[in-house]
């Protein structure tokens, strides 16, 4: 989701969708769908794959209880930023370019899906 700003305002805002399903945010659905899809490839019965997905979602929600919505994006962005400025990335310029590309790609992906943007992207205006 993109939010256009005008020249009349100098405030920095971002828009998110308040849509959730029974307390499950859109980013939480990744921890349900990905394990379910992987389990579906290995198991014969789709019910077992559904159960694996539900268990992974339950475990994820249990481990991240009390964290605000969007914490996964923030942790991923901070981790990518630390890795981009690490000694490994400084020794290999090609790795630094790849890491920077992945970080920008993930920021744009989160914005297009409608999740919280990373803090490095919040203060940018759309052209």
Do residues 111 and 68 make contact, with C-beta atoms less than 8 angstroms apart? no
Tokens representing residue 58 in the block: 């339950």
Of 24, 96, 14, the residue nearest 60 (C-alpha): 24
**Domain boundary assignment for the chain:** 1-10+69-127, 28-68
Per-residue pLDDT of the chain (127 residues; tens, 9 = 90+): 555 555 555 555 545 455 566 777 777 888 888 999 999 999 888 999 999 999 999 998 898 888 776 677 777 778 888 888 888 888 988 888 888 888 888 777 777 766 555 454 444 444 4
pLDDT at 77: 76
DSSP for residue 25 = -
In angstroms, rounded to a whole number, what is the distance separating the alpha carbons of residues 84 and 90?
A: 8
In angstroms, rounded to a whole number, what is the distance separating the alpha carbons of residues 1 and 21?
A: 19
In angstroms, rounded to a whole number, what is the distance separating the alpha carbons of residues 25 and 115?
A: 9
pLDDT at 124: 46
Do residues 11 and 23 make contact, with C-beta atoms less than 8 angstroms apart? no
pLDDT at 39: 93
In angstroms, rounded to a whole number, what is the distance separating the alpha carbons of residues 19 and 115?
A: 10
pTM, rounded to two decimals: 0.55
In angstroms, rounded to a whole number, what is the distance separating the alpha carbons of residues 59 and 112?
A: 27
């Amino acid at each position: 989701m993109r939010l256009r700003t005008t020249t009349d305002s100098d405030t920095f805002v971002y828009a998110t969708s308040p849509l959730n399903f029974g307390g499950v945010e859109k980013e939480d659905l990744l921890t349900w769908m990905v394990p379910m899809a992987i389990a579906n490839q290995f198991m014969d019965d789709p019910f077992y794959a559904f159960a694996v997905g539900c268990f992974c979602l339950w475990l994820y929600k249990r481990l991240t209880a009390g964290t605000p919505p969007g914490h996964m994006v923030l942790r991923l962005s901070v981790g990518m930023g630390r890795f981009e400025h690490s000694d490994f990335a400084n020794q290999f310029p090609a790795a630094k370019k790849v890491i920077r590309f992945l970080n920008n790609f993930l920021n744009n992906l989160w914005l297009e899906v409608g999740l919280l943007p990373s803090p490095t992207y919040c203060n940018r205006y759309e052209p």
